[in-house]
Amino acid sequence: MAAVGAWKRMRIGQSDSELRKLVEQQARQLNEAAQQQAATAEVLRVISQSATNLDHVLTTVLQKAADLCAAGPAQIFRRDGEVFRYAVSRILNPVYRKIEQQVRIRPGRETLVGRVALEGQAVHIDDAWADPEYGPQGDVRIGNVRSMLGVPLLKGSDLIGVMVLGRSEVLPFSPAEIVLVTTFADQAVIAIENARLFEEARARTEELEGSLERLRQTQDRLVQTEKLAALGQLVAGVAHEINTPVGNAITVTSIVERELRRLRERTAQTGVDPADLTRALHRLRDGTAMVSANLDRAASLIQNFSRIASVQLSGGRRRFSAKTLLDKALQALPPQRHSLVVECQEGLDIDGYPDLLAQVIEGLIRNAGTHAYAEDETGTIAIRARLTEEGDVAIRVEDDGCGIAPQHLNRVFEPFFTTGRGKGALGLGLHIAHGAVAAMMGEIAVESTVGTGTSFTVVFPQYNP
């Protein structure tokens, strides 16, 4: 019985010892797992916060991997064409670090990195000092490196680098440690790829910014060229238009002067002849009337030119009723032989510049009356105002007249372009309207069908900025 009791106590003691070992082993594993999890979290944090500082990220990855594996010297080599070059390291020995920085490693059995490049997988050297194939024996002795582990940095199937860990004693890396280092190698690949993508994005952004700046400069030059061309056209048009009435006035004035000189000479020779005086006075009256008419035309042209040069938001900004504005604009027009129809959305109010808008509406109605109908024709001119779905005001002036020829449609807003020169038109009305609408931050468009009619649509913000 005593022997049996002793045997039981021995078995219980063994069970307690095994249980303690099992608990210690599990605690150690849990501690290692916690350390690995913390190291991984730290690496991911650094990757997310330092995408542009690749050396810092790779150094952090290397540091964490080496610490978890109780390794000493550690390096990362990156592929550069046919060779592998030093990227970052954790090497305290400055002589050994300088050696590693200067080497250019090719695939082959002579080095650990070369073997990884050949095999495309993790390679372990139990003792580099005793490995007959290992070439740079003197280097590893300087660095005091014996057991070595090389893990490939793989982007898909492409080898872009190698992570190397070493120990100063012959202590091979375990399979679990190799798996762990492989995990950190994958994170190094992520960091390298992030840096590459960031650099590509930065370079592309700089390229696009440069292209945008060149586009802006080209646009500025084109705008300046267009402005100069428009100014040249405008000046040429003004000169041509003014030259005609001024030339007429000069011609008539010279005729009047000649008539006065002839009258003085006859009076000095024969005295005053009532009949001759009467004829001379009639010719002088006709001549002065022609001079006055031509000078009036020149003055009108100059006035319109001044309006083109300085379209202003005159009259003050205020809130007003669109219907009231249209009614007043029609009342300000001279008597019309055409029917005028006004349709306005109920309760449409505008915060803007009523005087300038009235000028545009009156100009469009006058333009329709002048160009849309023959002198003996009558028609209907409709003015319709509404609010668009986008919240802008749209005012449409349309007629049922002859329409505009397609070849003229894209020129109607050009200064001095007119098909009604024989009716005394200057070709400035629509150009002035276009400038006034632009001053209201709006747009004006034209649509026309020959034989059916023409419509001008003015669109501008309901609340002028």
> What is the count of structural domains for the chain?
2
Do 360 and 431 share a domain, yes or no?
yes
Do 380 and 303 share a domain, yes or no?
no
Cα dihedral: 228, 231, 237, 242 (round 10) = -130
Do 250 and 374 share a domain, yes or no?
no
Q: What local confidence, expressed as pLDDT, does residue 255 receive?
A: 79
Domain for residue 455, yes or no? yes
Which range of 109-113, 262-266, 412-416, 427-431 scores highest in mean pLDDT? It is: 109-113
Q: What domain range is 260 assigned to?
A: 224-309
Do 325 and 447 share a domain, yes or no?
yes
Q: What angle (nearest 5°) sits at the alpha carbon of residue 250, between those of residues 249 and 251? A: 90
Do 239 and 352 share a domain, yes or no?
no
Is residue 192 scored above 60 in pLDDT? Answer: yes
Domain for residue 355, yes or no? yes
Domain for residue 286, yes or no? yes
Do 383 and 453 share a domain, yes or no?
yes
Do 374 and 417 share a domain, yes or no?
yes
Decide: 195 and 101 in contact? Cβ < 8 Å.
no
Do 409 and 456 share a domain, yes or no?
yes
Domain-terminating residue out of 268, 289, 309: 309
Domain for residue 165, yes or no? no
Domain for residue 175, yes or no? no
Domain for residue 399, yes or no? yes
Do 270 and 361 share a domain, yes or no?
no
Angstrom distance (rounded) from CA 404 to CA 450: 6
Task: Name the pairing type of β-strands 318-321 and 147-155.
Answer: unpaired
Decide: 342 and 324 in contact? Cβ < 8 Å.
no
Angstrom distance (rounded) from CA 99 to CA 117: 20
Sequence length of the chain is: 465
Domain for residue 36, yes or no? no
Q: What is the pTM of this model?
A: 0.47
Domain-terminating residue out of 279, 309, 339: 309
Do 322 and 452 share a domain, yes or no?
yes
Q: Give the model confidence (pLDDT) of 110-145 as tens digits.
A: 999 999 999 999 999 999 999 999 999 999 999 999
349: β partners: 321
Do 345 and 245 share a domain, yes or no?
no
The residue among 147 and 273 whose pLDDT is bigger is 147
Nearest to 74 by CA among 169, 162, 5: 162
Q: Give the model confidence (pLDDT) of 291-334 as tens digits.
A: 777 777 677 666 656 555 555 555 578 899 999 999 888 887 87
Angstrom distance (rounded) from CA 63 to CA 48: 17
Decide: 373 and 435 in contact? Cβ < 8 Å.
no
Q: Give the model confidence (pLDDT) of 357-387 as tens digits.
A: 888 998 899 889 888 898 888 899 999 999 9
Domain for residue 442, yes or no? yes
Q: What is the CATH number of the domain that holds 400?
A: 3.30.565.10
Q: What local confidence, expressed as pLDDT, does residue 53 receive?
A: 79
Is residue 91 scored above 70 in pLDDT? Answer: yes
Do 289 and 323 share a domain, yes or no?
no
Q: Give the model confidence (pLDDT) of 234-247 as tens digits.
A: 666 666 666 667 77
Angstrom distance (rounded) from CA 184 to CA 180: 7
Domain-terminating residue out of 263, 288, 309: 309
Q: What local confidence, expressed as pLDDT, does residue 430 receive?
A: 87
